[in-house]
Amino acid sequence: MRPAETRQAALPARRTPWAVCAHQGDEGRARQGRASAGCRRDGGVFVKRLRRLRSGDRIALVAPASSFPHDEVAAGVAELSRLGFEAIYDDSIFEKERFVAGSVETRVRAIHRAWQDPSIAALMAMRGGYGSAQLLPFLEPGILIENRKALVGYSDLTALLNLYLRNGLVAIHGPMVDRRLSKGPLAYDEVSFRKVMMQAEPAGDFTPMQLEVLHPGIARGVLLGGTLTQLSVSLGTPWACDPPAGSVFFIEDIGERPYRIHRMLNQLAQGGMFAQAAALIFGEFPGCTEPSGDPQIRDVLRDFTMDFGGPVLFNFPSGHTSGATWTLPFGVEVEVVSSPVPTVRILEPAVE
Which pLDDT score is estimated for 284?
99
Which pLDDT score is estimated for 47?
64
Selection from 232, 66, 225 nearest residue 134 by Cα: 66
Which pLDDT score is estimated for 31?
34
Are 286 and 322 spatial neighbours (Cβ–Cβ below 8 Å)?
A: yes
Mean pLDDT by 10 residues, the chain (352 residues): 37 46 42 37 61 99 97 97 98 96 98 99 98 98 97 99 96 98 98 99 98 98 98 96 94 98 97 96 98 96 97 99 98 98 98 98
Q: Is 168 left (phi over 0), alpha (psi -120 to 50) or beta?
A: left
Which pLDDT score is estimated for 17?
59
How many C-beta atoms surround the C-beta of residue 240 within 10 A? 18
- How far is C-alpha 277 from the geometric centre of its chain's CA atoms? 15
For residues 220 and 246, give the distance between their C-alpha atoms in angstroms, rounded to a whole number. 7
Which pLDDT score is estimated for 18?
55
Dihedral sign of CA atoms 167, 59, 115, 110 in order:
positive
Which pLDDT score is estimated for 322?
97
Question: What are the start-end ranges of the E strands in 147-234?
Answer: 151-152, 171-173, 204-206, 212-215, 218-227
Q: How many helices (H) and strands (E) does the chain have?
A: 11, 14
Q: CA Rg, the chain, in Å?
A: 20
Domains of the chain: 16-37+204-346 (3.50.30.60), 58-198 (3.40.50.10740)
Which pLDDT score is estimated for 21?
53
For residues 152 and 197, give the distance between their C-alpha atoms in angstroms, rounded to a whole number. 10
Are 135 and 104 spatial neighbours (Cβ–Cβ below 8 Å)?
A: yes
Are 151 and 177 spatial neighbours (Cβ–Cβ below 8 Å)?
A: no
Which pLDDT score is estimated for 242?
87
| 198-212 b/e (C-beta count within 10 Å ≥ 16 → b) | beeebbeebebeebe
What is the DSSP secondary structure assignment for residue 266, as one 8-state letter?
A: H
> Is 332 exposed, middle or buried, given 0-12, 13-18 or 19+ CB atoms closer than 10 A?
buried
